[in-house]
């Protein structure tokens, strides 16, 4: 075996290159770390709005919590976790959920399925579901005929999806298209009879996918859509079904995945599927879904409680408050994403150094905002990423916006 091995072991770097990524990213992370913005340790009198550093007494608001509806610290959600622990008297059953599932988990699948109008497959995280599902779409085995599909990844799709490119490339041709470039995507659909597109619904760095155009491509070419809608689940739709699901009927050519650990307020993730057959197939073969952990029972309990809130008028009330806060922020601090109805906003300053300086001074003033830089955002577009929430007060939003203007003027 060792006879025919190559002298140069360097990989082809078709889909990733740690050296070039680290060369740019690590100095920026180190600067953020030197500025005290990384590895902050807190207690939480209020999990999103009053985080306290015990050693110094410094208190701050978390402007980059993605607990968009405040459900991560809702008393009923906490109580739901406790109830499940008391009922099951176990953290989990310590066995593959392909084989044995606790009735609480089954109930959660059913309730979320009814809420979102889909067959719902849970996993430890959205990342774990994507790792399990994408390669099966690539090889053409998910509700399909076993012939591979060309996998087209949107250039801005989340890390958890682009991570899987080399795995998919074992099964099929993997391409990357420019962000929301439907012309490029259509050209590929014309050239190949079987194509899948991999994208975010609401992008983690702001903006959304070109859904209307995607639906047309699906109708015209049978395009498979794999969309991660983590940043809109719970926030959008009558039952919180999210940006994509609220505008797209489930079918055999669509999989929507979403984290339950953001707007939904708990943890773990789900895949929304078009049929029970897909659910059963993925339960058997979707990698970590079968051979790793699944959602722990306290998170299942928390999710049942969050589902109850999603069925009640409270959801609409929380969504309304969130959208008021988004509109308020857009009025007092307009950014390119203003008016898109989604809660992620970016304040771009250009260079990583300035982004870190801005974030550090805001932190001193009581607001944690995440400095983002390559590879989180493209080179030269460093800045802050912030998220609006329903549990922010208008006064805090004003105070934050004033501080940003104030500090940017000094950069």
What residues from 236 to 275 belong to the interface with its own copies (CB under 8 A)?
259, 261-262, 265-268
Q: Does 34 bind its own copies (CB under 8 A)?
A: no
Per DSSP bridges, beta strands 382-387 and 344-350 are antiparallel
Q: Is 231 in contact with 200 (CB distance < 8 Å)?
A: yes
Q: Does 85 bind its own copies (CB under 8 A)?
A: yes
Phi-psi region of 366 (alpha: psi -120 to 50; beta: other; left: phi over 0): left
Q: Does 10 bind its own copies (CB under 8 A)?
A: yes
Q: For its own copies, which is the closer residue by CB, 248 or 270? A: 270
Which helix (H) or strand (E) segment holds residue 315: the answer is helix 313-332
Q: Does 362 bind its own copies (CB under 8 A)?
A: no
- Considering only residues 130 through 149, tell me which ones interact with its own copies, judged by CB under 8 A: 131, 135-136, 138-139, 141, 146, 148-149
Which of 179, 184, 332, 348 forms a contact with its own copies (CB under 8 A)?
A: 184
CA distances from 37 to 56, 367, 379 (A): 15, 11, 20
Q: How far is the CB of 130 from its own copies (least distance, A)?
A: 10
Which of 56, 94, 145, 410 forms a contact with its own copies (CB under 8 A)?
A: 94
Give the C-alpha separation, 335 to 24, whole Å.
26
Q: How far is the CB of 173 from its own copies (least distance, A)?
A: 4
Q: What is the contact mask toward its own copies in residues 306 to 345, using x (rule: CB under 8 A)?
A: ----------------------------------------
CA distances from 151 to 95, 138, 199, 253, 287 (A): 33, 6, 11, 13, 19
Q: What is the contact mask toward its own copies in residues 294 to 313, using x (rule: CB under 8 A)?
A: --x-xx--x-----------
| SS3 (DSSP) at 344 | strand
Q: Does 54 bind its own copies (CB under 8 A)?
A: yes
Q: Does 209 bind its own copies (CB under 8 A)?
A: no
Q: Which residue has the tokens 């208008």?
A: 394
C-alpha torsion 104→141→188→253, nearest 10: -40
- Considering only residues 99 through 118, tell me which ones interact with its own copies, judged by CB under 8 A: 99-103, 106
């Amino acid at each position: 075996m060792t006879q025919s091995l190559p002298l140069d072991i360097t990989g082809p770097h078709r889909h990733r290159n740690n050296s070039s990524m680290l060369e740019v990213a690590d100095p920026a992370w180190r600067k953020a770390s030197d500025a005290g913005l990384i590895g902050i340790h807190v207690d939480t009198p209020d999990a999103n709005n009053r985080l306290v550093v015990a050693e110094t007494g410094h208190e701050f608001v978390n402007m980059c919590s993605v607990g968009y509806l405040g459900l991560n610290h809702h008393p009923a959600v906490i109580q739901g976790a406790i109830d499940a622990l008391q009922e099951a008297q176990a953290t989990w059953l310590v066995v593959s959920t392909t084989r044995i599932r606790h009735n609480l988990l089954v109930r959660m699948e059913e309730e979320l399925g009814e809420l979102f109008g889909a067959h719902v497959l849970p996993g430890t995280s959205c990342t774990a579901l994507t790792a399990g599902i994408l390669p099966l779409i690539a090889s053409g085995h998910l509700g399909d005929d076993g012939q591979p599909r060309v996998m087209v990844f949107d250039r801005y799709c989340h890390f958890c999806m682009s991570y899987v490119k080399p795995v998919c490339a074992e099964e099929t041709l993997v391409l990357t298209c420019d962000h929301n470039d439907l012309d490029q995507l259509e050209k590929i659909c014309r050239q190949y009879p079987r194509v899948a597109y991999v994208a975010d619904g609401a992008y983690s760095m702001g903006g959304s996918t070109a859904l209307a155009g995607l639906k047309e491509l699906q109708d015209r070419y049978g395009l498979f859509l794999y969309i991660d809608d983590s940043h809109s689940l719970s926030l959008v739709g009558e039952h919180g079904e999210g940006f994509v699901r609220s505008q797209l009927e489930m079918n055999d050519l669509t999989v929507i995945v979403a984290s339950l650990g953001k707007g939904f307020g708990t943890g773990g993730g789900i895949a929304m599927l078009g049929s029970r057959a897909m659910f059963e197939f993925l339960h058997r073969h979707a990698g970590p879904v079968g051979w790793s952990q699944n959602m722990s029972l306290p998170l299942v309990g928390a999710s049942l409680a969050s589902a109850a809130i999603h069925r009640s008028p409270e959801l609409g009330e929380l969504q309304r408050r969130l959208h008021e806060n988004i509109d308020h922020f857009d009025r007092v601090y307009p950014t390119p994403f203003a008016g898109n109805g989604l809660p992620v906003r970016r304040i771009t300053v250009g260079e990583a150094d300035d982004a870190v300086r801005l974030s550090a001074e805001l932190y001193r003033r009581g607001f944690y905002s995440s400095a983002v830089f390559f590879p989180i955002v493209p080179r030269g577009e460093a800045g802050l990423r912030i998220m609006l929430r329903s549990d922010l007060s208008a006064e805090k939003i004003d105070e934050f916006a004033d501080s940003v203007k104030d500090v940017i003027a000094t950069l």
